[in-house]
Structure 1
């Protein structure tokens, strides 16, 4: 049995919360984005990226639009160090991009970090030490004042070395395990660091309050952020940052509420990669803003390419249900979902403002280089006529009458059910052709039709029945009606031609005519047929004979 009694909250809520952030609906603008894929994300990989892979990933992050990129922990390994030197010495950092490096507040690590970033055109030196109650008591066995002094010694050395080394350096401090630290104590440490670093409005520093381990509901973290934001020294010279992990699965919520509470910057990874349960997902955060009408300032329009590079270089898998990026996140197998989506698509086409309000799809898949027929409407035994008809119409141009679309939907579902498999669009087309189109049996095959116009319109049709050729005659008030009467008399059949529609498959002068016919039989059943031919009349005749040949399927 699981025993919940051994757990108790390890966080420290703010006792007097203002809760101003609760009154806000969403951020009004994008935060400052800092990708930590190449440090936190890379150190979380079973096989860390090679130099070449890190360079490719760096270039992808630049293309997406990240202006701050944490490129490593240069004291951690030679690959990390070499990558940083390669970026600087080969002038691979764009003018509008700032790199960031991480270092513990330990002298030899700080010095090696400055060796690695010497000559950087613009670099953030991110120094940190853990301040949580658990780590103070269990790991370091030091008092609050002793832990604070570690931060201050680190700050003094970072400031000193920034003046001794060549380069353009900015600063960031993190009280690691902030969520397990008493807010007033974390604030005291941060303010002491700020007083040493002396940031200005022109050259601000970053104070990062990380969710190193998620311990609470997101609103508790938002209150902590709001409290610190209200009481930080030199607040106009401080950029308040957040770095949430996802231990409780609420990293996105933590970040979104933190932004409402005063955070201005987010450290994040693509697809939520990172140590343990991962960092907050940059893609989900950015596109959540996008679907609210806020420009995230990051470009995820080529999502398939981003997924491909990510999976190849990290050897990680983007889950099929990963928000916005997973292969199945837009997929609707349910018939009711497909029907609503298909109708929503139609309404969108008729909206002069082009607003996106399609049911079940919070974002237009086209914005992410995904397609409707391949990614949205997916067909299996749970699918409905709306989605199946949508694929047939929008990919192949066949616009079936409503009742025929319903019949075709059940036919496709039956095929999928018997195969125990999803049907691809080309397989759906094949089912349509096999079931309805230009059928030559088992009852009859149309060979030709001629017409004589006198006082009445007379049709002369030549057909094959069981391999024997017949010539039948019929009169009617139109050519199709005359052919229909000839066939009914020749086969001694009783039915009504209930539905007839036609269309052009294409817009060129040599486009095929497409016809659909539904027959109502005396027992109340219906059969359907489709015909395709350059001549519209003959396409209708082929649709008629196809519907008769489908009598036993009615």
Structure 2
């Protein structure tokens, strides 16, 4: 039991920093980004990438917008060395991109590392040396003084081989040094500053070409706020701050890498190292995607383009052979999805509210949506993927799917009835409900089985002395152009404005029928006419919606298509059973006729 062994662990000591300033700050600009995918991420793979895979990954990082990329550990293997040479000799590195090559503080490994970078335009030479008491004493058996001397000796060697080199080709390269006091988080802050001061003095950076100190949480052992205190202490105590770039490299052992990195930036850090989707040793490096998108959702341009996140996921999964978790922030396939009914209803209402607001303003509105901190469309995610249906889903999500498929909003009673049907189907089949299933269920239960078998050959409507004659395919036969009408209707009810009389010729499966009826409007006169076909029912409810869309043959003067959607709830003559019918057609008479006949036929067979 863990409870029996908890006393073997000590709490990480907090740093005394009573005048800390970082909690009052906010992030208003992106950091300098460095991708370590090709080095730190690659060395953590069961199957490290070969040269071709690394080249594809490198090109993707450049396309995303990364200007600093750690490409290799050249002294680790011939593959790493050769890949670095390939990038340089094939001129695959854009002029504005810095490549970074890494080596430990070992003089015999620094020389091949620099040789691998020969001929590149911009190179960061990255050396690392563990500075924590644990590693110095347990792993390296070195004192603080010996550690400083080694770091300075390696720095002077790099300087001799690069910016002070007598080799004309090496002097053409713009060189920068990055020094990592590895396990900085577990290093005393005073010693971290001391060793970095010694390295800086040996390198002699300038304001135009800073030295990079990568103050890494190589193993995450402290809470994020303690780490931020450490960063603020370092930034305040390192001399010539204008010549120093403070870089963060957070691992995720405690699951706090993102929080620690964001707080570290508040505390003064200038640069962030990490991997796409948190790849890297053990629990991985900080996730560059999450950090960038967190800035984006706060109104800060991260400078990295994740506008097609699915493509990035596909690339990383293919080349690393590691799947991105289904619920990974921003990128997981379920990240923007909800199966819960209350969530679905809130999101659906949010989209409707946003549409009304943007119609009113005439411009795109600020993002404000229940359960969605950002617009999935900004990442190339389709809105239909936001809501997924199963037996736990509610009418909000099911209504969303119906609107996706048919571009209609169901009346509330129909929405409740159809939701019960879909949930029952999902429970019985134990499946996720797709758009195809929704379409099949809705058509089979509410729409005519063979709508093409019903034709409206002629229709005449008369109100008093006014006559409107229409034929099949003509829009707006009832003369009304409202978006939606609702009401309870009874057949043959006289209106104060007069009676509407309908005469029509229809064909059902090729058989002609002459029908006629009268009522207070087109719909009730049509109900009266259908009664004469031998159907016995009463109307409990009906709704009509007008739809507007572009690109079909039935267009109004504005160039948009007008389709009528009719919803009818009928009760059998014996008041035993009820049925809904739905009709959608460019011709409003046909839409209503489809709905009435569909519901009437189901009453007869129920």
Alpha-carbon distance in 2 for matches of 1:68, 1:452: 74
| Residue-by-residue CA offset, 1:347-373 (whole Å, 9 max, x unaligned) | 222233421111111111111111101
| Residue-by-residue CA offset, 1:269-322 (whole Å, 9 max, x unaligned) | 000000111000000000000000011111111111111111111111111001
Matches within 5 A, 1:288-307: 288-307=294-313
TM norm structure 1? 0.92
Could you say which residue in structure 1 is the equivalent of 2:79? Answer: 79
Could you say which residue in structure 2 is the equivalent of 1:8? Answer: 9
TM norm structure 2? 0.84
Match of residue 223, structure 1, among 223, 229, 238: 229
**Maintained 8 Å contact 1:499/1:518:** yes
- 1:107–1:416: structure 2 CA closer, same or farther, 3 Å change rule? same
Could you say which residue in structure 2 is the equivalent of 1:410? Answer: 420
Alpha-carbon distance in 1 for matches of 2:347, 2:275: 31
Match of residue 503, structure 1, among 538, 546, 559: 546
| Residue-by-residue CA offset, 1:391-427 (whole Å, 9 max, x unaligned) | 3224542333333233223222222222211122222
- Work out whether 1:336 is the aligned partner of 2:342: yes
- 1:404–1:519: structure 2 CA closer, same or farther, 3 Å change rule? same
Alpha-carbon distance in 2 for matches of 1:171, 1:192: 13
- 1:17–1:152: structure 2 CA closer, same or farther, 3 Å change rule? farther
Could you say which residue in structure 2 is the equivalent of 1:370? Answer: 381
Matches within 5 A, 1:196-275: 196-275=202-281
SS of 1:243's equivalent?
Answer: strand
Question: Per-residue deviation at 1:10?
Answer: 7.1
Matches within 5 A, 1:464-503: 474-488=517-531, 493-503=536-546
Alpha-carbon distance in 2 for matches of 1:253, 1:450: 69
Question: Per-residue deviation at 1:459?
Answer: 5.0
Match of residue 517, structure 1, among 567, 577, 587: 567
- Work out whether 1:541 is the aligned partner of 2:593: yes
**Maintained 8 Å contact 2:570/2:599:** no
Could you say which residue in structure 2 is the equivalent of 1:194? Answer: 200
**Maintained 8 Å contact 2:537/2:570:** no
Question: Per-residue deviation at 1:480?
Answer: 3.2
**Maintained 8 Å contact 2:461/2:522:** no
Alpha-carbon distance in 1 for matches of 2:79, 2:53: 11
SS of 1:495's equivalent?
Answer: strand
Alpha-carbon distance in 1 for matches of 2:515, 2:241: 94
Question: Per-residue deviation at 1:250?
Answer: 0.5
- 1:89–1:486: structure 2 CA closer, same or farther, 3 Å change rule? closer
| Residue-by-residue CA offset, 1:368-399 (whole Å, 9 max, x unaligned) | 111101x2021111222222222322454233
Question: Per-residue deviation at 1:128?
Answer: 1.2
SS of 1:224's equivalent?
Answer: helix
- 1:541–1:76: structure 2 CA closer, same or farther, 3 Å change rule? same
Could you say which residue in structure 1 is the equivalent of 2:482? Answer: none
Could you say which residue in structure 2 is the equivalent of 1:66? Answer: 66
**Maintained 8 Å contact 1:517/1:547:** no
Alpha-carbon distance in 1 for matches of 2:520, 2:23: 73
Larger mean Cα displacement after TM superposition, 391-400 or 88-97: 391-400
- Work out whether 1:42 is the aligned partner of 2:42: yes
**Maintained 8 Å contact 1:512/1:532:** no
Alpha-carbon distance in 2 for matches of 1:436, 1:48: 56
Question: Per-residue deviation at 1:213?
Answer: 0.4
- Work out whether 1:427 is the aligned partner of 2:479: no
SS of 1:297's equivalent?
Answer: coil
Could you say which residue in structure 2 is the equivalent of 1:529? Answer: 581
Larger mean Cα displacement after TM superposition, 134-143 or 525-534: 525-534
Alpha-carbon distance in 1 for matches of 2:305, 2:455: 57
Match of residue 324, structure 2, among 299, 318, 321: 318
Question: Per-residue deviation at 1:437?
Answer: 1.2
SS of 2:58's equivalent?
Answer: helix
Question: Per-residue deviation at 1:18?
Answer: 2.7
Task: State the aligned residue count.
Answer: 549
Q: Which has the higher contact order (CA 8 A, sep 6+)?
A: 1
Alpha-carbon distance in 2 for matches of 1:30, 1:524: 67
Note the residue ranges of structure 1 that are not aligned, 5 or more in a row. none
Could you say which residue in structure 1 is the equivalent of 2:141? Answer: 141
SS of 1:129's equivalent?
Answer: strand
Could you say which residue in structure 1 is the equivalent of 2:285? Answer: 279
Alpha-carbon distance in 2 for matches of 1:432, 1:175: 64
| Residue-by-residue CA offset, 1:39-81 (whole Å, 9 max, x unaligned) | 0000000011110111110010001111100001100011110
SS of 1:48's equivalent?
Answer: coil
Alpha-carbon distance in 2 for matches of 1:472, 1:119: 89
Could you say which residue in structure 2 is the equivalent of 1:360? Answer: 371
Question: Per-residue deviation at 1:141?
Answer: 1.7
Larger mean Cα displacement after TM superposition, 297-306 or 399-408: 399-408
| Residue-by-residue CA offset, 1:135-181 (whole Å, 9 max, x unaligned) | 11211122221222221221121122112251321101111111111
**Maintained 8 Å contact 2:228/2:267:** yes
Alpha-carbon distance in 1 for matches of 2:366, 2:109: 53
- Work out whether 1:347 is the aligned partner of 2:353: yes
Alpha-carbon distance in 1 for matches of 2:197, 2:595: 81
**Maintained 8 Å contact 1:460/1:483:** no
**Maintained 8 Å contact 2:37/2:276:** yes
SS of 1:292's equivalent?
Answer: coil
Alpha-carbon distance in 1 for matches of 2:568, 2:297: 44
Alpha-carbon distance in 2 for matches of 1:345, 1:46: 44
Alpha-carbon distance in 2 for matches of 1:54, 1:121: 20
SS of 1:345's equivalent?
Answer: helix
**Maintained 8 Å contact 1:103/1:126:** yes
RMSD: 2.8
